[in-house]
Amino acid sequence: MSNPGEAETTYGRWPDDDRGRGRRRRDVQAAAARGLRRGREQLNELAERADRVDRGGYGFAGRQGRGRGDKGEGGERAVVPEATFTSYYGRPVVKASPWKADIPAYFFFGGVAAGSSLLGAGADLTDRPALRRVGRLGALAGISLSMGVLIHDLGRPSRFLNMQRVMKPTSPMSVGTWILSLYGPLAGLAAVSELVELSRYLPRALRGPARLLASAARPAGLAAALTAPAVASYTAVLLSDTATPTWHDAYPHLPFFFVGSAAAAAGGLAMIAAPVGEAGPGRRMGIGGVLAEFVVDQRMEAAMGLTAEPLHDGKAGLYLRIAKTLNVIGLAGAVLLGRRSRTASVISGSALLAGSACTRFGIFEAGQQSARDPKYTVVPQRERLDAREGTKG
């Protein structure tokens, strides 16, 4: 410890446990519970950051602190030299979204619904009744669940309908709400006629409306299929239209990645629920979706640079590695055995479904991680600024 400035600008000076306990003892009457809890969390966070400083990753509050590990030997551990940059005590610059698991789940269910509507409409036109049923019912289930989690995620769920007091093309969430308001009833109409068809006994009074419903099912299903791709792709814009570094930088590729994931999920559902003889289009859709994901992922990460890093780190990295494994299993199963065995179809279909869910959670978490670490905000902006100032003079 060389001077007072250093003492304040470098963390990990006090073992956080001791400090927390000492403070608890002293200030028990004075400190409100939330203050303490927050303080403890922050101290833990700080300790984590201090570890990162020891690895040579950070400089705090002033250039003099740049990337200097306190214990000296820490810096040598890193294989790739980490970007040095300045931050305010290692604190995030942008805020991570307050969204929880609801939002990636919403993407997943919405993707299942969109792909299923397409399969349902195609099956309707090519006379595959079992696949049609799976598609239409899958779409209704998917869209209902996705609306459910979307509303649950709101800070004030009772005010959900405030979404519909404006129509704003600058807000992907507003656009998405209107897409869902168009798509949802259409998908619902198509699905309800399937339910009616499934019910063996109908009271005489309901037979007329049921016939009407049945005649509306095809146009509704086709209209739903036309709006469905928008349901699958707009969610990428929803993520990208933020200051969250990883989400924003992925914007040229993320919509393609997301429709691939949606296709894989819906294909997987068809492989699980439709008989092998009719599930062919679902299988091909699943295979196509996974292949598209693989190709787009390569290009996306190559184009992103530093902000692609969170896709491989921490929880996000884990989700995406699991997703890739599941996708490979699903792909292999669908290509090699999907045609022959229902069991293999169910297993590989489940792998594709689960893979899609993991993909959504992975992308979501990667963005959250990129927002929490000031590196991903500061370094690219600093490089951009320096390059611009360099060209100016």
Q: For the segment 159-188, give every residue that binds another protein (CB under 8 A).
A: 159-160, 162-163, 165-166, 168-174, 177
Q: H-helix or E-strand containing 87?
A: strand 86-87
Considering the complex, state which of residue 289 and residue 355 has its C-beta at the smaller distance from another protein. 289
Q: Quick check: 248 binds another protein (CB under 8 A)?
A: yes
Q: How far is the CB of 212 from another protein (least distance, A)?
A: 28
CB 130, CB 275: distance < 8 Å: yes
Q: Is 29 helix (H, G, I), strand (E, B) or coil?
A: coil
For 292, other C-beta atoms within 10 Å of its C-beta total 17
Binds another protein (CB under 8 A): choice among 91, 152, 315, 342: 91
Stretch of 320-328, 343-351, 357-365, 379-387 contacting another protein, by CB under 8 A: 379-387
Q: Which two tokens stand for residue 101?
A: 């698991």
Q: How far is the CB of 84 from another protein (least distance, A)?
A: 12
Binds another protein (CB under 8 A): choice among 292, 328, 335, 346: 292
Q: Quick check: 137 binds another protein (CB under 8 A)?
A: no
Distances (CA, A) of 174 to 83, 126, 163, 262: 38, 35, 6, 21
Binds another protein (CB under 8 A): choice among 58, 85, 109, 364: 85
Stretch of 56-64, 140-148, 215-223, 350-358 contacting another protein, by CB under 8 A: 56-64
Q: Quick check: 362 binds another protein (CB under 8 A)?
A: no
Binds another protein (CB under 8 A): choice among 146, 193, 240, 345: 240
Binds another protein (CB under 8 A): choice among 149, 230, 272, 323: 230
Binds another protein (CB under 8 A): choice among 18, 28, 71, 204: 28
Q: Quick check: 345 binds another protein (CB under 8 A)?
A: no
Distances (CA, A) of 32 to 44, 182, 365: 19, 48, 31
Binds another protein (CB under 8 A): choice among 108, 256, 319, 364: 256
Binds another protein (CB under 8 A): choice among 48, 55, 75, 93: 93
Considering the complex, state which of residue 85 and residue 213 has its C-beta at the smaller distance from another protein. 85
Q: Which two tokens stand for residue 15?
A: 């073992």
Distances (CA, A) of 381 to 12, 52, 173, 294, 305: 28, 21, 26, 29, 13
Q: Is 97 helix (H, G, I), strand (E, B) or coil?
A: coil
Q: Quick check: 393 binds another protein (CB under 8 A)?
A: no
CB 246, CB 235: distance < 8 Å: no
Considering the complex, state which of residue 126 and residue 343 has its C-beta at the smaller distance from another protein. 126
Distances (CA, A) of 106 to 241, 263, 352: 17, 15, 17
- Report CA 102 to chain centroid distance, whole Å: 10
The size of the chain, in residues, is: 393
Paired strand residues for 86: 59
For 156, other C-beta atoms within 10 Å of its C-beta total 7
Q: Which two tokens stand for residue 130?
A: 């079992």
Phi/psi for 114 (5° steps) reads -60, -50
DSSP single-letter state for residue 30: T
Considering the complex, state which of residue 189 and residue 239 has its C-beta at the smaller distance from another protein. 239
Q: Quick check: 233 binds another protein (CB under 8 A)?
A: yes
Which residues ranging from 102 to 131 are in contact with another protein (CB under 8 A)? 114-115, 118-119, 122, 125-126
Considering the complex, state which of residue 172 and residue 213 has its C-beta at the smaller distance from another protein. 172
Q: Quick check: 277 binds another protein (CB under 8 A)?
A: yes
By CB under 8 A, how many residues form the interface with another protein?
Answer: 121
